Homo-oligomer: A and B are copies of this chain.
Amino acid sequence: MDEENIVYVGNKAPMSYVIAVITEFEQGAKSVTLKARGRAISRAVDAAEIVRNKFLPDVTVAGISIDTEEIESEEGGKRNVSSMEISLSK
Give the interface of A toward B (CB within 8 A). 38-42, 45-46, 48-49, 53, 61, 64-68, 80, 82, 84, 86
Do residues B67 and A49 form an inter-chain contact, with CB atoms below 8 A? Answer: yes
Give chain B residues whose Cβ lies under 8 Å from the Cβ of A48: 66
Chain B residues near A68 (CB-CB < 8 A)? 49, 53
Shortest A22–chain B CB gap in Å is: 17
Given contacts A41-B41, A82-B42, A84-B45, A64 and B65 within 8 Å (CB-CB):
yes
Do B61 and A86 touch (CB < 8 A)?
no
Distance of A46 Cα from B40 Cα, bound (Å)? 12
Q: Could you name 22 residue pairs across A and B whose Cβ atoms are closer than 8 Å?
A: A38-B42, A39-B39, A39-B42, A40-B42, A41-B41, A41-B42, A42-B42, A42-B82, A45-B82, A45-B84, A46-B82, A48-B66, A49-B66, A49-B67, A49-B68, A49-B80, A53-B80, A61-B66, A64-B64, A64-B65, A64-B66, A66-B86
